[in-house]
Structure 1
């Protein structure tokens, strides 16, 4: 019988430890060298820490890629306490070639970063692609979404008092859609306002996004159908009919349900309108800092009464055809000083020739646009009455001869 040789106990332990190291190393090599990149755990941990922990980690976690290691670029007063910055937060988490998450939050000290002109808010070809009912904001032309959050007690550390925060967010990752953009923006906005302790209620995270051009909504902005573009908005429904202009009118507007801004549009269902018939109507309101920003945006293109300074053009050129007249007013509403702007668009066909506008015709146009403003202000379901607007004062008219 062969003699059995005993292996010292310490050697057994050392061999076992070596085997464990080799197994672990092999597993790591397989993870890195296989189909997956092996970065998932690290990337998720990085996402959780990024942006001072202000990103909605549990919601974004399923979208984090594994193929490459992530990179973080961040700065801002809420990310670096004690640092001076015009941004409350500016943060990007990027996975090169595999997407990114980016958020920016800035106090509204002057003009808004995004346009709030009627054409950029109203449903239609140039309007927003998606909205989240209940939020003041919409999809942005540069991608992602933007929204506004109110801070009644004011944001700290600013060069002048402001109670409005602008946040934009984009979740540019496979399988993540516009809803992820909105929910990320809301999460960041709520984190900042909570840290600032500036009062107000947290924004509610949306459960859906809708196409403002197609959606039908009820009074509480719940979507009921999407079969006809832009019709049956409660706050816009009476705009065409209440003006008293002839024709069958359809109306549509934004779905934000915001106390800071509102847009309604109405169009007459007329195939062959006569010259100077009203064919389209718009009515918009902007409150607080949003109102100041909107007025500045229009003024920069020369479309405010103080810019035109009472001048009157007596000729409508026929390069494009059509004419419109805007009427601006100022009021006090629930969210503060507010600008109203209503527009009446008229059918004009000079068959290739310029059209002279007589004094009598010009007076008729003024009467028409004032009728639009009165209808907008008096409608119980429209935004001004809903927002308790009062002390309305006319500012002046703006000609849009095209």
Structure 2
């Protein structure tokens, strides 16, 4: 402000500057106000979402008698909509008329055709003497990622949804004292669990997700059998039964040494194509009384041309109740020895599947009658639809037999292996099966 010596022009400029400053101040105040309103809206939405997620997490903890795996499912819980819970079953609501003991589903989000994520749980008493179709127990009890005691069978698997995948686990539990909730007698419990997976495709589901589903199924089975007093012991959830894609075999499978068996070399060995080979191993992480599984495969190779070394190997055993079921399953596909045969020249026809030579043996072990099956897969020269035939000389075919017998002998004789720990004895060879097109 001019106190002395102000001209008319300077006074005008001063007044103009003051008017501009007032407009700027008003504009800035407006911008700040809008920003505060927007920030307030964002904060309000965040608070609402946080409250909704907290409500959904609380619902998850209560749902299905509190048996769901909260840690694994937390990442699927929505914050923009309420979870949808459906609960049925005579053990969840004793006044209900239901075929199931537990039938529970919890989902989040509304997809186009199905929820964005969902979990399903069902436990039912299987009626004695009835054909239960898909609920029939698997023949191979090793198809589960946890060790299972006698009288319990299980399986795990994956399935693709419209968007994403899910992992499921099933258990069949013998109940000597019977189950309540059905009018007709039942001494077998069937439990199924389906959990959402982070994998886009079913083959990308991780071993950890298989383990989570298996543990959820065990938890539900134990809850039912304890309250039903069905006479079965609780199933443990510690450890995993199968370890996948390891660079070294698990402790029960340490006998599986490709180099000692004279199979294709690895790791770090390169063939003429300059590609690096490496064996990876799958197998039991713990001793299972009723079954055993060990396997290895050579990865990263191109072709061995005419050498035809073994590039895949597998050994399995089934004992006691599991033995007959496993043998019958292979017999249904004509994959058991029909009669002893002497190796001769072999003719292969392209089928798109790797050629497998299986060798069967029978023993008496702690669990009773036991079947062993070892299988070797040689690397054959490339076959395709244009050139589908290949004849292998008798000498090469005899080597396939020698390789399979070497695997069996090493497997049965291994210190600390399944056969030794199960005290297998009186072993006799049943014969070979050529699992390839002719």
Q: Output the TM-score relative to the length of structure 1.
A: 0.62
Q: What pairs up with 1:46-65 in 2 under 5 angstroms?
A: 46-47=59-60, 50-55=63-68, 64-65=77-78
Q: Which is further off, 51-60 or 260-269?
A: 51-60
User: Does residue 102 of the first structure (1) align with residue 120 of the second (2)?
Assistant: yes
The answer on whether the counterparts of 1:280 and 1:345 sit within 8 Å (CA) in structure 2 is: yes
Alpha-carbon distance change, 313 to 46 in structure 1, aligned in 2, over 3 angstroms: farther
Q: Counterpart in 1 of 2:415?
A: 380
| 1:257 alignment partner, SS class | coil
Bigger Rg over Cα? 2
Q: Counterpart in 2 of 1:232?
A: 249
Measure, in 2, the Cα distance between the counterparts of 1:154 and 1:180: 29
Q: Counterpart in 2 of 1:369?
A: 404
Alpha-carbon distance change, 375 to 77 in structure 1, aligned in 2, over 3 angstroms: farther
Alpha-carbon distance change, 238 to 155 in structure 1, aligned in 2, over 3 angstroms: farther
Q: Counterpart in 2 of 1:323?
A: 355
Alpha-carbon distance change, 242 to 170 in structure 1, aligned in 2, over 3 angstroms: same
Alpha-carbon distance change, 46 to 293 in structure 1, aligned in 2, over 3 angstroms: farther
Q: Counterpart in 2 of 1:184?
A: 216
Q: Which runs of 5+ in 1 are unaligned?
A: 1-29, 122-127, 215-228
Q: Which is further off, 196-205 or 331-340?
A: 331-340
Query: How many residue pairs were aligned?
Result: 343
Cα-to-partner distance string for 1:211-246 (whole Å, 9 max, x where unaligned):
9444xxxxxxxxxxxxxx432322222223597435
The answer on whether the counterparts of 2:345 and 2:394 sit within 8 Å (CA) in structure 1 is: no
Measure, in 2, the Cα distance between the counterparts of 1:371 and 1:164: 41
The answer on whether the counterparts of 1:105 and 1:166 sit within 8 Å (CA) in structure 2 is: yes
The answer on whether the counterparts of 1:266 and 1:280 sit within 8 Å (CA) in structure 2 is: yes
Q: Which is further off, 260-269 or 57-66?
A: 57-66
More contact order relative to length (CA 8 Å, sep ≥ 6): 1
User: Does residue 283 of the first structure (1) align with residue 283 of the second (2)?
Assistant: no
Alpha-carbon distance change, 248 to 56 in structure 1, aligned in 2, over 3 angstroms: closer
Deviation, 1:330, is 4.3
Alpha-carbon distance change, 326 to 180 in structure 1, aligned in 2, over 3 angstroms: closer
Alpha-carbon distance change, 180 to 323 in structure 1, aligned in 2, over 3 angstroms: closer
Measure, in 2, the Cα distance between the counterparts of 1:322 and 1:281: 12
Q: Counterpart in 1 of 2:232?
A: 199
Alpha-carbon distance change, 231 to 56 in structure 1, aligned in 2, over 3 angstroms: closer
Measure, in 2, the Cα distance between the counterparts of 1:290 and 1:299: 14
Measure, in 2, the Cα distance between the counterparts of 1:71 and 1:360: 66
Cα RMSD after superposing both structures: 5.1
Deviation, 1:380, is 1.9
Q: Output the TM-score relative to the length of structure 2.
A: 0.57
Measure, in 2, the Cα distance between the counterparts of 1:279 and 1:110: 37
